A = this chain, B = another copy of it.
Amino acid sequence: MFGKATGLCAVFAATMLAAGSVALADDALLNEAKDYFKPIPSVVPAVKDNAVTHEKVELGKMLFFDPRLSSSALISCNTCHNLGMGGDDNLETSIGHGWQKGPRNAPTVLNAVFNIAQFWDGRAEDLKAQAKGPVQAGVEMASTPKRVETTLKSLPEYVERFTRAFSGEADPVNFDNMAKAIEAFEATLITPASRFDQFLEGNVAVLNDQEREGLQLFMDKGCASCHNGLNVGGNGYYPFGVVEKPGANILPANDKGRFAVTQTADEEYVFRAGPLRNIELTAPYFHSGMVWDLEQAVAIMGTAQLGEDLSGDEVKAITAFLKTLTGEMPTVTYPVLPVETADTPRPEAMIAQ
């Protein structure tokens, strides 16, 4: 009887020890992860030089969905940053005015407020600067500040809403304030409460073994040196192909990335590290949009950036971890837009490109 009891006790003790070492390992993983990453907050963040008010957010939502910001009156921000599809268009590169193909893959608008700067090359310092780009780009919405202002001023409900959102300004209906309102709305497009966020907040059991192994690999192999912080990326600039250049279809020679912004020779093929929040929703990957499979993208990053031939199991584990970065999508009520008046510019005649 003693023997048996001792045996049971030994099993019990071993179990406790194992549980204890698992708990210790979990604590270590959590502590290491906390050094690299931060959870997405559950409240809307403040934005530089642009108070995020209810009036601006509601106005910005209307503008985000209003195709009359484009000269064709067909393309809205939401066309390429579709809030039902991870905040992007799931195309290799976007289709714009006249069915033209854009030069780079559309980045997601979700959590974009947390990025260091906007666009793949960081050429817009914030979302209000970003919002002015596609509206004017000939291959995207092909409009002009003047056309946009004429459109907005022709719609009494917009005039009223701009006046309330930018009260005290002498001429509130203008292109800059359009961008500020859109930025305010976009600041609300955050996706908290992903499983990884729950992990960071101490609920280690929310990630399974493979996902925790993937997180450990993500830090050990060096992915987290560039992809870290709140957005697991989006906060620094790095050369693509630092160890080994990927194929020309993935890294086309004629797109030199940040070099076009800074004209600095050592910034050739430098891009903002992709923010990896909701990455499973935003295929295809890379600025060229040529890779649809997340595992393949992870393997390419291994060889191109780290000089690591990741094993199949390692790739799968890292990918499993990346899928824990999917958060709760914002709830958006589709806005009812003001009806055009006699003064609203008509949609531009069809342009065959």
Contact = CB atoms under 8 A, between A and B. Distances in A.
A293 B73 contact: no
A98 B352 CA distance: 9
A350 interface: yes
14 contacts: A67-B82, A67-B85, A67-B89, A72-B95, A74-B95, A84-B334, A84-B337, A91-B347, A99-B350, A99-B352, A99-B353, A283-B339, A292-B342, A329-B336
Given A346-B292, A350-B95, A353-B352, A333 B332 contact: yes
Contacts of A74: 79, 89, 91, 95
Contact of A340 (B283, B333, B353): B283
Contacts of A280: 339
Interface string A66-101: 110000111000010011111001111001001101
Interface residues of A, number: 42
Contacts of A103: none
A307 interface: no
Interface in A290-337: 292-293, 329, 331-337
Contacts of A89: 67, 73-74
